[in-house]
Amino acid sequence: MATTTTEATKTSTNGEEQQQSQNLRHQEVGHKSLLQSDDLYQYILETSVYPREPESMKELREVTAKHPWNIMTTSADEGQFLNMLIKLVNAKNTMEIGVYTGYSLLATALALPEDGKILAMDVNRENYELGLPIIEKAGVAHKIDFREGPALPVLDELVADEKNHGTYDFIFVDADKDNYINYHKRLIDLVKIGGVIGYDNTLWNGSVVAPPDAPMRKYVRYYRDFVIELNKALAADPRIEICMLPVGDGITICRRIS
């Protein structure tokens, strides 16, 4: 049976609408996923992540979802990845720059041994205290030394004392992207040889490959060049081995080798 012009137009229009709907759905759901298919990302979450997610992390994730700045949180699949990575490297003394409500912090704390430690820094204590009751209920709050304020002065103080050099097993950075290179200059002295630094958001909503004149949200455009410069600097740093992964919004794992 022949298809009329009107029917073909309707089919084309419906296809375009479905594609637009899929694109919008991806923007909404997939801000923490660079996968081209939301269904595939949902499959990962429902098959691998959510069934194994500790109850405390699930509770904190759901509390954070109600916060107006929830876009800042670590994704559930990345939280699972960090938790396993910390166990794989047998981390004990760790650091986190950028805490927000503490989802990644909780993932770290749960992975550490009972006497493990996290130096956690964030400029906003109020956000941290939103998740603190859940962290306390999980029985891991004693592992956390939270410092409110900018991280650079704390790092400078640590670097000034050579006793702190090479003492950190694992460091996770998810903070102000315009300071990532400044953080790296200091953290490379503090992490031990064989230790790991993880930099979050290194694919930055996929904007790192977008043309300069591409439409972007203001905050994405503002930090884009800083992220690109960080990626170049890490790739050229002979003191580390690196692996950039499309988990969450992109995470670059750096292993200090010298």
The predicted-structure confidence for 140-164, as pLDDT tens digits, reads as follows 999 999 999 999 999 999 999 999 9
Select the more confidently predicted residue: 29 or 202: 202
Edge to edge, the sheet with strand 117-122 lists 144-148, 117-122, 93-97, 168-173, 191-200, 251-256, 240-245
Percentage, residues of the chain above pLDDT 90? 84
Mean pLDDT of 113-128: 98
Q: Do the beta carbons of residue 202 and residue 229 sit within 8 Å?
A: no
Element of type H or E holding 200: strand 191-200
Placement of tokens 């930090």 in the chain: 223
Cα dist from 71 to 42, 102, 196, 219, 232, whole Å: 17, 13, 25, 12, 26
Q: How far apart are the first and last CA of the chain?
A: 71
| pLDDT confidence band for 32 (50 / 70 / 90) | low
- Which residues have a Cβ under 8 Å from the Cβ of 128 and sit 6 or more positions away? 99, 100, 101, 102, 120, 122, 146, 148
How far, in Å, CA of 111 to CA of 174, rounded?
18
Mean pLDDT over the full length of the chain: 90
- The pLDDT, as a whole number, for residue 151 is 98
Q: Among residues 255, 256, 245, which one has the least CA distance to residue 202?
A: 245
Fold of 33-256: Rossmann fold (3.40.50)
3-state SS, residue 258: coil
- Residue 22: the pLDDT is 44
Place of tokens 């166990």: 87
The β-bridge relationship of strands 168-173 and 191-200 is parallel
pLDDT > 90? residue 14: no
- What is the pLDDT at residue 29? 30
Q: Give me the residue label for tokens 């690196």.
A: 242
Angle formed at CA 73 by CA 245 and CA 243, multiple of 5 degrees: 15
Of the candidates 108, 107, 98, the residue with the CA atom closest to the CA atom of residue 128:
98
| Whether the predicted pLDDT of 138 surpasses 80 | yes
* Predicted local distance difference test score (pLDDT) of residue 37: 86
Judge contact between 163 and 88, C-beta under 8 A: no
pLDDT in tens, 171-206: 999 999 999 999 999 999 999 999 999 999 999 999
Provide the token pair at 20: 């637009």
The residues, ordered by sequence, that sit 6+ positions from 195 with a Cβ below 8 Å of its Cβ are 89, 91, 166, 168, 169, 170, 171, 255, 256
Assign 6 a pLDDT band (cuts: 50, 70, 90): very low
The single-letter DSSP state of residue 61 is H
pTM: 0.87
